[in-house]
Amino acid sequence: MGESHPTTSVRSNLFGMVDMVGMAIAMLTTAALIVQLSGGKAIGMAWVLLGVVVGGGCRA
User: Is position 23 within any domain?
Assistant: yes
pLDDT at 29: 92
pLDDT at 6: 72
Convert the pLDDT of each residue in 46-55 to its tens digit.
Answer: 888 888 888 8
pLDDT at 60: 54
What's this model's pTM, rounded to 2 decimal places?
A: 0.59
Convert the pLDDT of each residue in 1-60 to its tens digit.
Answer: 556 667 777 777 777 788 888 888 998 998 888 888 888 777 888 888 888 888 876 565
How many Å apart are CA 41 and CA 36, to the nearest integer? 8
58 in Cβ contact with 52 (< 8 Å): no
User: Is position 42 within any domain?
Assistant: yes
Domain span at residue 50 reads 6-56
How many structural domains is the chain composed of?
1
34 in Cβ contact with 28 (< 8 Å): no
Among 52, 48, 22, which residue's Cα sits nearest to residue 35? 48
